Amino acid sequence: MLSGTPAPLLPGSHAQITICPNCNHPSMSIFYAINNVPVHSVVLLRSRKAALEYPRGDIALAYCRHCSFISNVLYDESTQDYSKDYESTQSYSPTFTKFAKTLAQDLVDRHDLQGKTILEIGCGQGEFLTLLCELGGNRGIGFDPAYNAASRVESSSIEIEFIKDYYSEKYAQIKADFIVCKMTMEHIPEPERFIAMIRASIDEQNNPTLFFQVPDVRRVLKEGAFWDIYYEHCSYFSPVSLQYLFAANGFEILKQWQAYDDQYLLIEVSPHGEPNPAATAIAADLDSVSKMLDIFSQNVSFRINSWKQFVQARLQSGSRLVIWGAGSKAVAFFSTLGLSKEIKYAVDINPIKEGTHLPGSGHKIVNPEFLVEYAPQEIIVMNPIYVEEIERDLRQLGISAELTPIA
């Protein structure tokens, strides 16, 4: 692992770097780097001063030619604290809630999750685990250092135990019929060690099915989506790197698919396989991801410059701009473009975030009702999947503004 402050690196740089934490092969090379970005994106910062002074780190993404895994090789795990003022709840969105309910019902139906024990690693505030338990009358066990009991509405009809900690070897004695890990693996710097730890906790008497969900890096590469590259995400998966990871650790791949407008990659595995990494490293799949990597390297600078020009042109015309979606994408957007005063506000429907500030740029987070008085002419939407939902909210508020989805 590299240490210290890196020299500026340009997209397209392919210096040899380190051993892949997904397959343990020495076949990684850097292709994209950005320095001085906030080490957390979705923390509640009460003042602009605290946001501007928030700790920063560097990103150098490296690609493994053996399994297609992508890693931030400058990631420093000691900078991460998910237990204090960490707020990543998405359940305030009807669009996201519909997706979560549909997914939960599908898992309950296909895996006959009725009266079973379900363990979730990285459960957040327990929203998805609660769905699985309610839909199937299941018992839940959730692990997350960011869990906040005060934010949870208790239900007498289900039994869920929350453990405010990271899942690790010390909890190997806890057994379950179904294991869930959603949007957590991208935060883990050594995925092979993590999956090997989970595999070691499973014995012959306990054979759960496992379900994982991660962002699909192929979309990031194809779109040149620099706004989806931020410090908390140290690991980036494609189908081949994800399959390789599980097959190498003795899991059988049951199903793999995309969801949420192809933003998410989902996989189900069973601990019935034999370690067989070679079966998943298909040359055609590796070549496909490698070509996407080339597209990203060719296009990302153009994407960055285009958005800088877009913002400047709107400001010169006197247009008031805001962004909608005060999460990780917004932090990466502002950090990469170097914007602070050009856009004053970030809108979010999560009431917990209202009045706080984005780390790094210091933008104040406001609720949609604030826009009635502010009357922006243009809104940059940080995730296109929410455009229809935002349009409905704006109509209800009587706000007329042009929506520009980031792409």
Residue 57 lies in a domain: no
- Reported pTM: 0.93
Domain ends where: 243, 275, 307?
275
For the segment 171-216, what is each residue's pLDDT rounded down to a tens digit?
999 999 999 999 999 999 999 999 999 999 998 788 899 999 999 9
What does the pLDDT average to over 75-82? 94
- Asked if residue 322 lies in contact with residue 298, where contact means CB atoms within 8 angstroms, the answer is no
| Same-domain pairing of 112 and 200 | yes
Confidence of residue 407 (pLDDT cuts 50, 70, 90): confident
What does the pLDDT average to over 92-112? 98
Domain ends where: 247, 275, 303?
275
What pLDDT does residue 276 have? 65
Domain ranges, residue 143: 94-275
- Asked if residue 147 lies in contact with residue 162, where contact means CB atoms within 8 angstroms, the answer is yes
Residue 159 lies in a domain: yes
Residue 115 lies in a domain: yes
pLDDT value at 79 more than 50 = yes
| Same-domain pairing of 270 and 324 | no
**Burial profile 126-161: b = 16 or more Cβ within 10 angstroms, e = fewer:** bbbbbbbbbbbebbbbbbbbbbbeeeeeeeeebebe
Residue 257 lies in a domain: yes
Number of domains in the chain: 2
pLDDT value at 291 more than 70 = yes
| Same-domain pairing of 121 and 227 | yes
What pLDDT does residue 84 have? 78
Distance CA 192, CA 138 (A): 30
pLDDT value at 71 more than 80 = yes
Residue 240 lies in a domain: yes
Residue 388 lies in a domain: yes
| Same-domain pairing of 262 and 335 | no
Cα 239 from chain centre: 16
What pLDDT does residue 204 have? 76
What pLDDT does residue 221 have? 97
**List of residues 6+ apart from 117 with CB closer than 8 A:** 138, 139, 140, 141, 175, 176, 177, 178
The DSSP output letter for 78 is: G
What pLDDT does residue 11 have? 41
Per DSSP, the three-state class of 228 is: helix
| Same-domain pairing of 271 and 355 | no
| Same-domain pairing of 253 and 321 | no
For the segment 315-364, what is each residue's pLDDT rounded down to a tens digit?
999 999 999 999 999 999 999 999 988 999 999 999 999 999 999 999 99
pLDDT value at 269 more than 80 = yes
| Same-domain pairing of 113 and 196 | yes
pLDDT value at 9 more than 90 = no
**List of residues 6+ apart from 325 with CB closer than 8 A:** 346, 347, 348, 381, 382, 383, 386
| Same-domain pairing of 214 and 330 | no
| Same-domain pairing of 124 and 254 | yes
**List of residues 6+ apart from 46 with CB closer than 8 A:** 355, 356, 357
| Same-domain pairing of 246 and 338 | no
Residue 325 sits in a domain whose CATH number is 3.40.50.720
What pLDDT does residue 7 have? 37
Compute the mean pLDDT over every residue in the chain, rounded to the nearest whole number.
Answer: 92
What does the pLDDT average to over 49-55? 97
pLDDT value at 125 more than 50 = yes
Stated as kind and residue range, the H or E segment containing 374 is helix 370-374
| Same-domain pairing of 268 and 353 | no
Residue 360 lies in a domain: yes
pLDDT value at 120 more than 60 = yes
What does the pLDDT average to over 267-280? 75
For the segment 302-319, what is each residue's pLDDT rounded down to a tens digit?
999 999 999 999 999 999
| Same-domain pairing of 248 and 340 | no
Residue 59 lies in a domain: no
Domain ends where: 227, 255, 275?
275
Confidence of residue 268 (pLDDT cuts 50, 70, 90): very high
Residue 158 sits in a domain whose CATH number is 3.40.50.150
For the segment 204-246, what is each residue's pLDDT rounded down to a tens digit?
788 899 999 999 999 999 999 999 999 999 999 999 999 999 9
pLDDT value at 281 more than 70 = no
